[in-house]
Amino acid sequence: MSFYTTLARLRQKNHKAFAVLIDPDNCDEQACQRILTLTQSCPPAAFLIGGSLLTKRNIQEVNDFFKKHSSVPTVLFPGNSLHLISSADSILFLSLISGRNPEFLIGHHVVSAPFLKQSGMEVIPTGYMLVDCGSQTTVSYMSNTTPIPYNNKDIATCTAMAGELLGLKLIYMDGGSGAVKPISSEMIRAVKQAVDLPVVLGGGVRNVEQLLACYQAGADLVVVGNAIEKNPDFIKEMAEATKKINEN
All domains of the chain, ordered by start, with CATH?
Answer: 17-241 (3.20.20.390)
d(CA 150, CA 77): 23
pLDDT of residue 248 exceeding 90, the answer is no
Residues 6+ apart with CB under 8 A from 190: 153, 154, 156, 157
pLDDT single digits (tens) 63-93? 999 999 999 999 999 999 889 999 999 999 9
Average pLDDT over residues 113-127: 97
Q: Please report, in range form, the residues annotated as the binding site for Mg(2+).
A: 23, 52
Q: For residue 48, which amino acid is it? A: L
> pTM for this structure?
0.96
pLDDT single digits (tens) 1-58? 899 999 999 999 999 999 999 999 888 889 999 999 999 988 999 999 998 888 887 8
Does residue 87 sit in helix, strand or coil?
coil
* Comparison of pLDDT for 232 and 207, the residue scoring more: 207
Q: Please report, in range form, the residues annotated as the binding site.
A: 23, 52, 172-178, 203-204, 225-226
pLDDT of residue 103 exceeding 90, the answer is yes
Residues 6+ apart with CB under 8 A from 74: 46, 47, 49, 63, 66, 67, 88, 89, 90
d(CA 84, CA 188): 29
pLDDT of residue 216 exceeding 90, the answer is yes
DSSP state of 129: E
> What's residue 65's pLDDT?
96
Q: Per DSSP, what are the bridge partners of residue 19?
A: 223
Helix residue ranges, H only, the chain:
3-13, 29-39, 59-69, 102, 108-119, 138-143, 153-165, 185-194, 208-217, 226-230, 234-247
Q: Please report, in range form, the residues annotated as the binding site for sn-glycerol 1-phosphate.
A: 172-178, 203-204, 225-226
Q: For residue 67, which amino acid is it? A: K
Residue 210 contacts residue 18 (beta carbons within 8 Å): no
pLDDT single digits (tens) 146-197? 999 999 999 999 999 999 999 999 999 999 887 899 999 999 999 999 999 9
